[in-house]
Structure 1
Amino acid sequence: MKPYAHRGPGGGVAAVVISSKVREGREVDYRRWQQKINDTMRSFPGFQGSDVYPPIPGEQDVWVVVFRFSSTTELTGWLDSETRRRLLEDVRPLLEKPSELEILAGEPPTREAVTAVISHNVQPGRERDFQRWQDKVRKAQEKFPGFLGFEAFEPVPGVQEHWVVMFRYDTREHLDDWLESGTRRKLLDEGRHYFADFDVRTVKSAFSGWFRFNGETAREPPPNWKQAMSVLLGLYPTVMILNLTVGRAFEAVRLPGYLAMFISNGLSVSILTWLMMPLVNRAFTSWLSPSGGGSPFTNIAGALVMVACMALCIAVFGLITS
């Protein structure tokens, strides 16, 4: 894939961003299908992981899924596979129209970021003008606070028909400042001479699915240090309880260590995702939620309560195991 504007050094990873408009009332079926495709992809060479982002009310009405591979060759192998073709047949009745797909290749971001992926339908014969205009947009973006990087990609015949731009900002607020700025509006007015239409999608933190408030994923996830403390608070008692119960049962039946470890990890992840993290989120909403946990006093007080809860857990398990 050939970039046509500024990007980082070559190599790195490849990703495909897939946008799907799910039929009303079929969201549960789509989630099941998405889990099925995630499970299937784990056996494919080069697969590194995936992130699923549900629609954001009032902002974007599509599901956005990002699949990451270690190289473009391995990603293309998945896209061209018979397994994927069969899965696409299963999902067609759930979608209002075929999914849109953009392939991105390059270095992974070196820090947590909020990413926007924009696909353009460029007017025939105006490709070079579009490239010059896009370079002008990039230079304007670089002057805005929080800008972290920019990559742009030409269409790939038979795989991706649109011109794709991806740019990153350090926070959602800084991304919105650019998207809603007068500078961008003026540039869009100029660019309409070169493209027929465009579509914007946002991709947030890879950990955002673990941080939900009032039943919805946070518009902007908590800072990394809050995420780490929260996961540790949920993970420690989960692992300790499993070790004291399931772990001892495994020892009693002499289950092989590699199999016991796999089952224990599976139970830990399941309990953490569907039980412990929802409890931690509910207890610390005012500290984790960006709307309530921004002041220095709240940050310090919440962190001290977190530390106290961890100390209590250590003391309890210390008494149990002594």
Structure 2
Amino acid sequence: MSETHPETVTLVVRHQVRPHHAPRYETWLRRIITTASQCPGHLGVDVIRGWRPDVAQFTCVLRFTSLEQLQNWIRSEQRRQLVAEVVPLLCDGDQLEIAQGKDFWFVPEPVQTPPPRWKQSCITFLVILPLSLLMPLLWRPLFQLIPWLSNSLLSDALITLSIVLLVVYLFMPMATRAFAGWLRPHNR
């Protein structure tokens, strides 16, 4: 709808969706958008998707012709039921912000600052050192059984590949979760 209204109000709804629940949230989002579009005074909705590690972020910008019609939507039983249904999928609940006027400018959530490099180096060292000592010992029986695998280049490649795969897919995610508090930039 291209027609502008002098009293246009904007509702900004921010949701942070728990890991692995984004598909269910998207299904719910389609339902609530359809329901909101049937409310008197509804002028349209925009959805902005963002991603952080382990969290999908959704910002929905809804426009209504008046504050009264917007508040009717916020207080409606339909919205209350739909929000109650989605709350278990959210990290921080249903976050609302109302702005007067036809234009609404907003700044997306700030991107999380990465941990200091020295902390990243410490965690990486703690993960890689034990693996670099252990993996040659674990591969040794196979190298003895199959002599052509013990070729220096081939054995080094197999050991390195094993370390890289274990670091990337298993041990670094575990170490990052275990040391999450210490890795935050504000903890020196």
Alignment partner of 2:70 out of 72, 75, 82 = 75
User: How many Å separate the matches in 2 of 1:62 and 1:30?
Assistant: 11
Q: How far apart, CA to CA, are the structure 2 residues paired with 1:61 and 1:91?
A: 14
Superposition TM-score, scaled by structure 1 size: 0.30
Report the CA distance shift for 1:101/1:86 in structure 2 as closer, same or farther (over 3 A): same
Partner of 1:50: 45
Q: Supply the AA of the counterpart residue of 1:15.
A: T
Identity percentage of aligned residues: 30
SS of 1:39's partner is helix
Q: Are the counterparts in 2 of residues 50 and 68 from structure 1 also a CA contact under 8 Å? A: yes
Aligned to 2:88: 93
- Provide the C-alpha distance between the structure 2 equivalents of 1:200 and 1:62, rounded to a whole number of angstroms: 12
In 2, Cα distance between the equivalents of 1:99 and 1:55?
16
How many angstroms apart in 2 are the aligned matches of 1:102 and 1:200?
17
- Per-residue displacement from partner, 1:259-312 (whole Å, max 9, x unpaired)? xxxxxxxxxxxxxxxxxxxxxxxxxxxxxxxxxxxxxxxxxxxxxxxxxxxxxx
CA shift, 1:92, in A, is: 1.0
Do 2:8 and 2:100's aligned partners in 1 also have CA atoms closer than 8 Å?
yes
Unaligned runs of 5+ in 1: 1-9, 110-114, 119-198, 202-322
Report 1:1-322 matches (<5 A).
Answer: 11-57=6-52, 62-108=57-103, 115-117=105-107
**Distance in 2 between the 1:88 and 1:79 partners?**
10
Number of aligned residue pairs: give it. 106
8 A Cα contact 1:12 1:108, kept in partner: no
Unaligned runs of 5+ in 2: 112-188
- Which residue identity is paired with 2:69? E
**Would you identify which runs of 4 or more consecutive aligned residues in structure 1 move more than 3 Å?**
none
Higher helix fraction: Structure 1 or Structure 2? 2
Distance 1:43 1:116 in 2: 26
Query: For the residues of structure 2 that align with 1:57 and 1:78, how far apart are their CA atoms?
Result: 30
RMSD: 2.5
CA-to-partner distance for each residue in 1:134-169, whole Å, 9 max, x for gaps? xxxxxxxxxxxxxxxxxxxxxxxxxxxxxxxxxxxx
Aligned-partner Cα distance in 1 for 2:88–2:73: 22
Tell which structure's C-alpha radius of gyration is larger. Answer: 2
1:61–1:23 Cα change, 3 Å = closer
Q: Tell me which of the two structures has the higher relative contact order, counting C-alpha pairs closer than 8 angstroms and 6 or more residues apart.
A: 2
Preserved contact between residue 10 and residue 61 of structure 2 (Cα < 8 Å): yes
